[in-house]
Structure 1
Amino acid sequence: MYLIVGLGNPGGQYAKNRHNIGFMFIDELIRSSGFGPERNKFQSVMSEGTVQTAKGPVKALALKPQTYMNLSGNAVKEAAAFYKIDPDHIIVYHDELDLAPGRLRMKLGGGHAGHNGLRSIMSHLGPNFVRARMGIGHPGQKELVHSWVLSDFYKADTWVERLNDAAVSALPLLLAGETEKYQTEVMRLAPAPKLDPKQANPQP
């Protein structure tokens, strides 16, 4: 079984924030075939499902922690302990400042780079879980980061929906252990806008 986690903050005021792109992915995943209705458990909104892969069906638990970002690890630890899921079968989708908008990069282990959701998960489970890093771009100045991640995507950021659609469509590759192929396929299905990695989204 895989635990697929999307990071974000609960509440309507945060729903369209850049920091909530992980929640947006989970919403799209749950809407896809193979997942059941949402329910509240593990301090989260969750859904159980099955993903059909080339190696056969794989059970998965989709999770949106409702603890707020800086306590995400509490919910992830609870779900992982209940289902006895090892860290290398935990995949965390999160916003990534150091990637250009629309880029997706997979990574096993590493640091948290100041991301409070990752920091919280690492404090409970260690670093060796899988990260699906979803680029949102950088505002260019460190003092602008907080307001950047907690502000909404622009209406012109149509790449967000395309990226989430592609990340869901290609998921059978990831759950079959084809991590590099998954990353490549997502980027093939949803090419990122041609922007410098250190530049934020242009104003519409």
Structure 2
Amino acid sequence: MKKFLIVGLGNIGEKYENTRHNVGFRIVDHFAKMETLNFETQKLGEIATYRLKGRTLIFLKPNTYMNLSGKAVLYWLTKEKIPIENLLVITDDLNLPFGSIRLKTKGSDGGHNGLNDIQNKLQTTTYNRFRFGISDAFSKGKQVDYVLGEWTSEEVEQLPERLDTSVALIKSFVLAGVQHTMNAFNGK
């Protein structure tokens, strides 16, 4: 049976729950809600498992805080013997307009500390990352406040549809592969 590790990046704790930086957690939580999955606390994170047409999806929300996500990702890839091409890391991206999505198979961390730690622990920049746009609508010097800030009421209104699209992207990644999924979803 083919296994996939789907990692939603975020920070643990109520303080961060509704922040832009936690959109990775939000997307995997939305998937879990749609499919009635429960996360359980395990080593280095919260884990939920889902079976889809002969494939096993292991969802991970690292409890190491965003900047140390690589430790949890490496542990679960190794423990479950999942090849790196079956890894999908979901994260926020300041360089994309709100709600836009981009799937990539490699690249730099783009200044994202969570991706930087994953890259360092995996010793490669070649792994699948699903970037969810949070836009860059902040004043000079206010990036941290913006990223760790809560969604605007307009964004909250548009979020459910974008979360549904994100779940469809994850299923496509698992069933149809990364190339097909990039063609079908990038820029949407």
TM-score with structure 2 setting the length: 0.90
Percent identical across equivalent pairs? 29
**How big is each residue's C-alpha offset from its partner over 1:151-201, in whole Å with a ceiling of 9 and x where there is no partner?**
00012112222111121134332112443543565579xx6xxxxxxxxxx
Correspondences of 1:45-56 after superposition (within 5 Å): 45-52=46-53
- 1:15, 1:86 → 2: CA distance? 30
- Structure 2 equivalent of residue 42 of structure 1: 43
- 3-state SS in 1 of match to 2:77: helix
The aligned amino acid for 1:113 is G
- 2:125, 2:132 → 1: CA distance? 18
Query: 1:50 Cα shift?
Result: 1.0
- 1:170, 1:41 → 2: CA distance? 26
CA contact under 8 A between 2:104 and 2:182: conserved in structure 1?
no
Residue 29 of structure 1 pairs with residue 31 of structure 2: yes
Query: 1:140 Cα shift?
Result: 5.1
- Structure 2 equivalent of residue 135 of structure 1: 133
- 2:161, 2:180 → 1: CA distance? 18
- Structure 1 equivalent of residue 121 of structure 2: 124
**How big is each residue's C-alpha offset from its partner over 1:17-60, in whole Å with a ceiling of 9 and x where there is no partner?**
00000000010111232x642111131011011123xxxx2111
Q: Which moved more, 1:165-174 or 1:97-106?
A: 165-174
- 3-state SS in 1 of match to 2:102: strand
Correspondences of 1:173-192 after superposition (within 5 Å): 173-183=172-182, 185-186=184-185
The aligned amino acid for 1:104 is I
Out of 151, 168, 177, the position equivalent to 1:153 is 151
Question: Which segments of 5 or more consecutive residues in structure 1 lack a partner in the other structure?
Answer: 192-204
CA contact under 8 A between 2:97 and 2:135: conserved in structure 1?
yes
Residue 165 of structure 1 pairs with residue 164 of structure 2: yes
- 1:82, 1:180 → 2: CA distance? 27
CA contact under 8 A between 1:104 and 1:183: conserved in structure 2?
no
- 1:168, 1:26 → 2: CA distance? 8
- 2:86, 2:177 → 1: CA distance? 13
The aligned amino acid for 1:26 is V
Inter-CA distance 184–75: structure 2 relative to 1 (3 Å threshold) = same
Query: 1:109 Cα shift?
Result: 1.1
CA contact under 8 A between 2:102 and 2:186: conserved in structure 1?
no
How many residues align structurally?
A: 184
Question: Which segments of 5 or more consecutive residues in structure 2 lack a partner in the other structure?
Answer: none
CA contact under 8 A between 1:112 and 1:118: conserved in structure 2?
yes
Over the aligned positions, Cα root-mean-square deviation in angstroms equals 1.9
- 1:186, 1:32 → 2: CA distance? 20
Inter-CA distance 72–16: structure 2 relative to 1 (3 Å threshold) = same
The aligned amino acid for 2:20 is R
More helix by share: 2
- 3-state SS in 1 of match to 2:141: helix
Out of 48, 60, 63, the position equivalent to 2:60 is 63
